[in-house]
Amino acid sequence: MEYEAFFQKGLEGTPYKDDEEAVEEALALVDFFLNAVFEGRDIRGERLEMRGVVVTPQECEAALKERMDWHLKESRKEEKEREEREKLKAGFGRIMNRGSAGGETRLWKLLKTYSLTPLEIWSFLLAMALEFDRKYERIYGYIQDNVGAKRPTLGLSLSLFGLMCPKEERSRLWLETSSLLWENLLEKTEPGEGESSLSRPLALQGWVIRWLRGEENRIRKAGETGLSPWAVPVKLVYEWEDLVLEDVSEKLLRQVCAQVQYREQVMETWGFGKKSPYGNGISALFYGAPGTGKTMAAQVMARHLGMELYRVDTSCLVSKYIGETEKNISDLFKKAEKKQAILFFDEADGLFSKRSEVKSSNDRYANMETGFLLQKFEDYQGVSILAANFANNMDDAFKRRLGFLIPFVFPSSGQRERLWKNMFPAEAKLEEALDYAGFAQKMELSGSAIREISLGAAYVAASKGRGIRNEDVYEAAASHYLKYGKHWNKDQQEES
């Protein structure tokens, strides 16, 4: 296969015009390298699907002439290798130059972000090819002499990259790999039992695949959040005194904390772990209307327990591709396990809607994904919290597999008065005594709405160069209601 057939000349320094062109030329380069190996190995003209099964006439002829052709082959071998090496170097150099020439294609924006070595870029492209064309599964298996090896390995990457290098340099190639590639872009897969590190499969992380497909709109490096790209850390600013809940809800929250604090004593010292060898993860469902304190409660728990809290982005977790959601879930919990963090799944109604009747393969896979996530909750040694608006939308079988179901109800008048008091810090400058009881009676609001209005009142007062007055609260309240198409003033109740 001729080099010129792959790459159009005259474009060496031209930026890629779009994502499709960048990916297509990268795949063409992978094909070019694989073909070089294939032509070198398949000199007898074997058929791929019959390799090792039949003996062809070409194979017999080549075997009989092998010794006669040996001297001729040796004399031409070095020259041929040099020609092949130069072609491969030119092809690889071409995409490197085009990728560096500018433009904002997703592939090269990603590769530039991590400042990878040429070998790491090559390893990435080799792994990426599988995500765009399944033909590589068979080809990788054939070239690696293992039909079960559908993914390229580190050894294959080094071998192919070595085709561009003189023999004396090939043994040093593995030194060029760094942790950036494995920690940020590739899965931390391990070779099989009894295999060398060169058998380590190369597989892209889930978020990288979504980025290349245009389904992910951010690049956060590993270590920035610790659980990227599926979860972000939440700052812990609230304490128990800030929570205004029904007594039963607060009691249940403290029970969750107690299970974390005394788990080792109960399960290990007291021996209950022997009676319950699996499914001992601590999980809870917080359910109630928006703004009733579910997120605040999670922050209070995390601060009380001295644990990190991560808000899970379910839009990043769920994929339309079969098997990808489970892979993302596994990756998330694997990373979270090292931190023993609290995972907070906000707006989880869609994740745990009632199990659908299986009418198609999509329904079956959706049910499998949900069951898989619940299993991870049960096995996770940290704490998993789901926040949903309605508990009755959840399948009863799923409820039984969660440790706690904690209601968050809309605050009563007395609770709203406490919330108003809590929202104004001791440092806040007050121009007059604020009518907390009046606010609570006149405005039926959730905790998050009260927080929004309190903050708005502070800005109104600051802009007027004085302390906070009751009129500032009412002015901020009127602005809040206007967002939802309602007109309100301090002398009357809500009106549409």
413-483 folds as Helicase, Ruva Protein; domain 3 (1.10.8)
Q: Are 408 and 257 in contact (CB under 8 A)?
A: no
Helices (H), ranges, 190-289: 206-213, 247-261, 263-264, 272-275
pLDDT tens track for 105-120? 999 988 888 777 888 8
Q: In whole angstroms, what is the distance from residue 174 CA to residue 156 CA?
A: 12
Asked if residue 284 lies in contact with residue 404, where contact means CB atoms within 8 angstroms, the answer is: yes
Map tokens 């906070």 to a residue. 468
pLDDT at 63: 65
| % of the chain residues with pLDDT over 90 | 34
**Alpha helical stretches, state H, 206-321:** 206-213, 247-261, 263-264, 272-275, 294-305, 314-317
Domain ranges in the chain with CATH number 1.10.8.60: 413-483
pLDDT at 360 over 80: no
Residue 65: band (very low, low, confident or very high) from pLDDT cuts 50, 70, 90: low
Residues 6+ away with beta carbon under 8 Å from 335: 226, 227
Higher pLDDT, 23 or 76: 23
Q: Say if residues 388 and 345 touch (Cβ distance below 8 Å).
A: no
- Residue of 13 and 452 predicted with greater confidence: 452
Q: How crowded is residue 264: how many other Cβ atoms within 10 Å of its Cβ?
A: 11
* Burial of 52 per CB tally in 10 Å (0-12, 13-18, 19+): exposed
Which residue spans of the chain are classified as CATH 3.40.50.300?
231-408
CA distances from 356 to 257, 266, 319, 338, 351 (A): 33, 38, 18, 34, 12
Query: How many C-beta atoms lie closer than 10 Å to residue 251's C-beta?
Result: 11
Q: Are strands 309-312 and 231-233 parallel, antiparallel or unpaired?
A: antiparallel
Kindly report the pTM of this predicted structure: 0.58
Burial-class residue 168 by CB neighbours within 10 Å (0-12, 13-18, 19+). exposed
- Average model confidence (pLDDT) across the chain: 81
pLDDT at 162 over 90: no
Does residue 46 carry a pLDDT above 50? Answer: no
> What pLDDT was estimated at residue 411?
94
Pure H helices in 340-430: 361-379, 396-400, 413-423
Whether the predicted pLDDT of 87 surpasses 90: no
User: For 210-232, how does the pLDDT look when each residue is reduced to its tens digit (9 = 90+)?
Assistant: 889 887 776 775 545 467 678 88
pLDDT for 250: 95
> Is residue 238 exposed (0-12), middle (13-18) or buried (19+ Cβ within 10 Å)?
buried
Report the alpha-carbon distance of residue 401 to residue 294 in Å, rounded.
Answer: 20
Choose between 346 and 47: higher pLDDT.
346
Rounded Cα–Cα distance for residues 455 and 462 (Å): 11
Output the CA angle 294-299-302, nearest 5 degrees.
125
Number of H helices, E strands in the chain: 22, 6
> Is the per-residue pLDDT at 49 higher than 80?
no
| Superfamily of segment(s) 231-408 | P-loop containing nucleotide triphosphate hydrolases (3.40.50.300)
Task: Please report the pLDDT score of residue 3 as a whole number.
Answer: 46
Average the pLDDT over 15-41 and give the result.
86
pLDDT for position 185: 84
pLDDT of residue 438: 94
Beta bridge partners, 153, equal 201
* pLDDT tens column, 404-444: 999 999 999 999 999 999 999 999 999 999 999 999 999 99
Q: Is the pLDDT of residue 371 over 90?
A: no
